[in-house]
């Protein structure tokens, strides 16, 4: 895997994903241990605001012995002031890797095509693969992937949902998605996931599931449709009644930030079966595994 990019959750085989998860567990157990990225530099490109992505990547690089350079939209105006391919070629000469949190998925694809160094998708409008890796690390810790837990995702069939489906398929798990009509995950993603089940009934998605997952109803860039989405998604709120349909010891996940009282109630988000803080912390450990694996070429 050294030298490769991580653009999609489907970029690695099952064996490679399990290796990344094992590395993440080892790094989590010894956070001040190995420093394989001494003098390595990661350029971080942000077209969207970030809390967990920025802090986890910066912390991870420091703990692994490397450093980061944060590039805001006003710093490079990628695609306007300078072509994406040109940015990639230059940054590939100056840095050891690139993490990009962008709007268009094609931007990450272009960066990976032209940079000559590993490019990591920190979020695009199509996928959020680093989030999915942290999600399955969390699921493994609490439910053991070997037991083949059933994962239910309720809400918008967005980038988080896409990566959850793809990585779940690679790991051989059943991922159910409950979405309002017209807001299902992309057909081309679902077609690659024969184990997945997509329904417009949130109760059918959650029934007996070992993991219940949701995300905001309106992502960044969709603010104009937020009011309409609140109306259409109100029956898809993960509340105590819906969560009660899951397996008795099911866990609740949310990639955060959460809009309390919309996609999830306080009772579920703050409840005893919620593992959202473990999930948020695991962004650090999962991404450290990616960095330590890819940037050591």
Provide the 8-state DSSP code for 279.
H
**Confidence at residue 165, expressed as pLDDT on a 0 to 100 scale:** 98
| Residues in the chain with pLDDT values less than 70 | 220-221
Beta bridge partners of 45: 71, 100
| Residue 85 structure tokens | 């391919």
Is 254 considered catalytic here?
no
Q: Which of the residues 40, 105, 114, 128 is marked catalytic?
A: 128
Q: How far apart are CA 147 and CA 29, in angstroms?
A: 23
- Can you tell me the distance from the alpha carbon of 32 to that of 65, in angstroms, rounded to the nearest whole number? 10
**Would residue 125 show up in a list of annotated catalytic residues for this protein?**
no
Q: Which of 215, 254, 275, 287 is catalytic?
A: 215
Q: Report pLDDT for 74.
A: 81
| The two three-digit tokens of residue 162, written as one number | 């896409």
Q: What is the DSSP string of 25-41?
A: HHHHH-TTS--TTTT-E
> Catalytic annotation on 215?
yes
Q: Which of 40, 63, 96, 101 is catalytic?
A: 101
pLDDT at 73: 81
pLDDT reported for residue 72: 87
Name which of 230, 237, 183, 172 is nearest 206 in CA terms: 237
Give the active site residue among 193, 255, 275, 287: 255
For the chain, the straight-line distance linking the first and the last C-alpha, in angstroms and rounded, comes to 9
Residue 93 annotated as catalytic: no
Note the pLDDT of residue 222: 72
Is there a catalytic annotation at residue 255?
yes
**Active-site residue, from 63, 110, 131, 287:** 131
pLDDT digits (tens, 9 = 90+) for 72-128: 888 887 777 889 999 999 999 999 999 999 999 999 999 999 999 999 999 999 999
Which residue segments constitute the domains of the chain, with CATH numbers given?
A: 14-128+283-294 (3.40.50.1370), 129-280 (3.40.50.1370)
Other CB atoms within 10 Å distance of the CB of residue 204: 13
283 is catalytic: yes
Q: Which of 140, 283, 285, 287 is catalytic?
A: 283
């Amino acid at each position: 895997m050294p030298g490769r990019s991580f653009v999609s959750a489907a970029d690695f085989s099952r064996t490679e994903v399990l290796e990344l998860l094992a590395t993440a567990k080892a790094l989590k157990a010894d956070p001040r241990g190995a420093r394989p990225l001494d003098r390595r530099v990661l350029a971080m490109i942000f077209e969207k605001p970030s809390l967990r992505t920025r802090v986890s990547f910066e912390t991870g690089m420091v703990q692994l012995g490397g450093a980061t350079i944060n590039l805001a939209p006003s710093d490079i105006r990628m695609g306007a002031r300078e072509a994406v391919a040109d940015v990639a070629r230059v940054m590939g000469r100056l840095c050891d890797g690139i993490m990009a949190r962008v709007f268009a998925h094609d931007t990450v694809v272009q960066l990976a095509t032209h940079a000559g160094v590993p490019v990591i998708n920190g979020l695009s409008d199509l996928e959020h693969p680093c989030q999915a890796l942290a999600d399955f690390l969390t699921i493994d810790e609490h439910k053991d992937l070997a037991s083949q837990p059933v994962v239910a995702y309720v809400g918008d069939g967005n980038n988080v949902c896409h990566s959850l489906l793809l990585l779940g398929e690679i790991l051989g798990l059943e991922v159910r998605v409950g979405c309002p009509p017209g807001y299902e995950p992309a057909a081309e993603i679902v077609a690659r996931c024969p184990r997945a089940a997509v329904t417009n009934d949130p109760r059918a998605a959650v029934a007996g599931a070992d993991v219940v997952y949701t995300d905001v109803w309106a992502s960044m860039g969709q603010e104009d449709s937020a009011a309409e989405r609140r109306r259409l998604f109100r029956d898809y709120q993960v509340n105590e009644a819906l969560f009660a349909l899951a397996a008795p010891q099911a866990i609740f996940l949310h990639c955060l930030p959460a809009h309390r009282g919309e996609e999830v109630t306080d009772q579920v988000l703050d409840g005893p079966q919620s593992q959202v803080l473990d999930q948020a912390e695991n962004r650090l450990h999962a991404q450290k595994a990616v960095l330590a694996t890819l940037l050591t070429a």
